[in-house]
């Protein structure tokens, strides 16, 4: 199909990169044009958090879609979408640090220790950081494929912490509809990986059992 062949076009990655910056551009425009509602600071915090979750879902969806649809060209966008997830979580943390805490690092540290939902969100950011820093080819070569894959399994913990952070944030208003949607999406995407890993393990074990029987 032409749509899938387009994934291999040299312009595809710049287009995806530009599209990934559209939410950021809108937030910047909205902030300067006073279009973010009565509480722009809260809007920016929530919007950057929402886009972090969305890009986490997109990054995790690429491998299952690549396998299920038989479209290896999708793999070209996995690193980029993962890094955009980190970009938006950095913006989310920056908004919290500036607008809520006035960039007072002592107060920020105290707030992280005192409030569980902030601690959970910050823990997710901490775990996501080494994944972003080792997403490049040189890091893969330096770590070795097996250690790199083991490290990047932290994404399971990141996803869980992200959902818990979102759940606690919405608990005050008893609004869990969006939380349920993101939780379901991430459960399916991570569950797919678990199933694939179990199948690979079972497949690897079969020759060994056959050899022992022989």
What is the pLDDT, as a whole number, of residue 60? 93
- pLDDT score at 7: 74
Say if 198 falls within a structural domain.
no
**Distance between the two ends of the chain, CA-based, in angstroms?**
47
Domain that includes residue 67, residue range:
2-103+117-193
Q: Is 50 left (phi over 0), alpha (psi -120 to 50) or beta?
A: alpha
Percent share of the chain, pLDDT over 70:
93
Asked whether residue 205 is assigned to any structural domain, the reply reads no
Q: Is residue 35 part of a domain?
A: yes
Residue 73's pLDDT is 85
Q: What is the mean pLDDT of each run of 10 residues along the chain (214 residues)?
A: 70 93 96 91 94 95 90 89 97 95 94 93 96 91 89 91 92 83 92 87 65 56
Count of domains for the chain: 1
How far are the Cα atoms of 58, 62, 183, 214 from residue 55, in angstroms, in the given order? Answer: 5, 11, 14, 49
pLDDT recorded at residue 197 = 83
Q: Say if CB 132 and CB 82 are below 8 A apart.
A: yes
């Amino acid at each position: 199909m032409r749509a899938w062949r387009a994934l291999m076009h040299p312009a595809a990655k710049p287009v995806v990169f530009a599209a990934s910056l559209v939410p950021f551009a809108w937030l910047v425009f909205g902030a300067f044009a006073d279009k973010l509602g009565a509480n722009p600071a809260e809007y920016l915090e929530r919007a950057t958090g929402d886009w972090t979750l969305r890009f986490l879902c997109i990054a995790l969806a690429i491998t299952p879609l690549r396998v299920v649809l038989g479209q290896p060209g999708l793999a070209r966008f996995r690193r980029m979408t993962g890094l955009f997830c980190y970009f938006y979580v950095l913006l989310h943390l920056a908004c919290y640090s500036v607008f809520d805490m006035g960039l007072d690092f002592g107060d920020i540290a105290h707030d992280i220790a005192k409030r569980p939902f902030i601690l959970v969100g910050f823990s997710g950011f901490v775990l996501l950081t080494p994944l972003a820093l080792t997403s490049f080819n040189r890091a893969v070569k330096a770590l070795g494929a097996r250690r790199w894959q083991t490290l990047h399994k932290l994404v399971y913990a990141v996803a869980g912490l992200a959902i818990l952070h979102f759940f606690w944030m919405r608990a005050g208003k008893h609004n869990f509809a969006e939380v349920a949607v993101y939780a379901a999406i991430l459960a399916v995407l991570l569950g797919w990986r678990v199933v694939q890993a179990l199948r690979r393990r079972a497949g690897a074990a079969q020759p060994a059992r056959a050899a022992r029987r022989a």
